[in-house]
């Protein structure tokens, strides 16, 4: 039996375990894609005979693909200056300044929020992110994590409470109201577009 065939048999045997390992890194809808991409990468690997520890190779490949997925998702959050083809660029300069300020403030808010989420206990963090970031229903989360819907609800409530306290501690008292006003303004602007 060739090394390639052995590696693919091992992949089939470890498929569920690979999915479980990846589930700790990416949200449920992405798990199957990452596992399938792992299979594709394994098939494309030219030097199968060089692999000394095939099990570790498979886990490492799946983990790296999951981390790459998370990095690419996070890198989409960037600040861009709009192109200014106007002859009267000075008139728009103050608007550009406000837009950049708003984008930077939003990025800072997001960083504080991410830090707050990282402080949550692991299971609470999973539930909170699936609900608030990915928009899963409580029923979907309960099914995916094999917990009751009431537990999901408690984790969400606890996450909101802890994150709100964390954000409030790290911002000036007037800033919290300002953050909320900017958030509402952005939501209204998105609704108009």
pLDDT in tens, 31-40: 888 988 888 8
103-122: buried (b, 16+ CB within 10 Å) or exposed (e) per residue?
Answer: eeebeebeebeeebbeebee
Is the pLDDT at 14 greater than 80? The verdict is yes
Q: What is the mean pLDDT of residues 153-168?
A: 89
Structural domains of the chain ordered from first start: 3-74 (1.10.1740.10), 89-192 (1.10.10.10)
- Whether residue 148 has pLDDT greater than 90: yes
Residue 77 confidence (pLDDT):
47
Structure tokens, 67: 């981390």
- 188 pLDDT more than 60: yes
């Amino acid at each position: 039996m060739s090394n390639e065939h052995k590696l693919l048999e091992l992949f089939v045997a470890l498929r569920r375990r690979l999915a479980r390992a990846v589930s700790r890194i990416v949200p449920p809808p992405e798990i199957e894609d990452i596992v399938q991409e792992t299979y594709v990468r394994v098939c494309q690997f030219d030097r199968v005979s060089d692999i000394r520890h095939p099990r570790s190779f498979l886990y490492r490949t799946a983990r790296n693909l999951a981390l790459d997925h998370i990095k690419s998702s996070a890198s989409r959050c960037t600040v861009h200056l709009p192109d200014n083809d106007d002859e009267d660029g000075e008139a728009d300069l103050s608007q550009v300044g406000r837009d950049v300020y708003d984008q930077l403030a939003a990025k800072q808010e997001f960083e504080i929020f991410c830090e707050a989420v990282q402080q949550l206990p692991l299971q609470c963090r999973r539930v909170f992110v699936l609900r608030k970031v990915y928009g899963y229903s409580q029923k979907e989360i309960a099914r995916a994590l094999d917990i009751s819907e009431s537990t999901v609800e408690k984790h969400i409530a606890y996450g909101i409470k802890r994150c709100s306290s964390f954000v409030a501690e790290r911002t000036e008292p007037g800033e919290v109201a300002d953050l909320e006003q900017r958030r509402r303004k952005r939501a209204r602007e998105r609704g108009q577009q």
